[in-house]
Amino acid sequence: MKIFSIDNPIFKFISRIGDIFLLSFFWLLASIPIFTIGASTTAAYDCAFKIIRARDTNVLKDFINSFKSNFKQSTIIFLILLPIGALILVDLYYWANTESSVSFVMNALGIGIGIIYLATLLFVFPVQAIFDNPVKKTLQTAFLMSIKNWPVSLLLIVVSFGISYVCYVFPVAAYIFFIIGSGLFTMIYAVQFLTVFRKYNSSLEPDRPEECDYNVEIKKPKTVADASKVKTKKGSKIIK
């Protein structure tokens, strides 16, 4: 192995760290207006999927293209889910500070709804990045995938809460997270989402299996009908 070869593991590692840093920076920059968080998250996952699948990528170009092409739909989805999440938080706060015979039941119900909401929220923007559907279908797909793949949903929820807690207790961790953590965990989450998505569309295999970051065994849809229900996006998106 040549020390200065681009195939050297050290150079690959440095390149990957650079991709993660750029992904974090672009996501943070594009999320500053707040209402654009949906579009920036979709673009970040789109880039992460391509990097993980060992495709030849240009993070800046891919991020901008994905942000522009998904801006309208991702923003609509974000503006739909934001007030729902706020309503769930208000409901949980109200019943947690109310002493009544039904408060325990309402708290338990609110927590259950909150978990389902968080699972759907985690899935919806990766789904938007990969699959070509209208808003209603994207929300429905994210909801059903999060329920059917509940072990993945539960794992990602626990990890997300863990990250939030660490950032809350240690403010310096929040700064580190914003610098590189958002890109790193987007990549980690993207590996899990690809594992799920491959169950629904067999075209999501890596371009260079020997260099990709996840298991390359492909399970094809059980029937032609199953395969036809899920479409991947064209252009800069992952295609067959």
Mean pLDDT of 50-79: 90
Is the model more confident about 49 or about 213? 49
At residue 216 the predicted structure's pLDDT band, cuts being 50, 70 and 90, is: very low
Average pLDDT over residues 21-42: 94
Please, are residues 219 and 198 in contact by the beta-carbon 8 Å criterion?
Answer: yes
Give yes or no for residue 44 having a pLDDT over 70: yes
Residues in Cβ contact with 164 at an 8 Å cutoff, skipping those fewer than 6 apart: none
Region 27-52 average pLDDT: 94
pLDDT band with cut points at 50, 70 and 90 for residue 13: confident
Which alpha helices (H) appear in 32-102, and where do they start and end? 37-52, 59-96
Residue with tokens 């989402």: 193
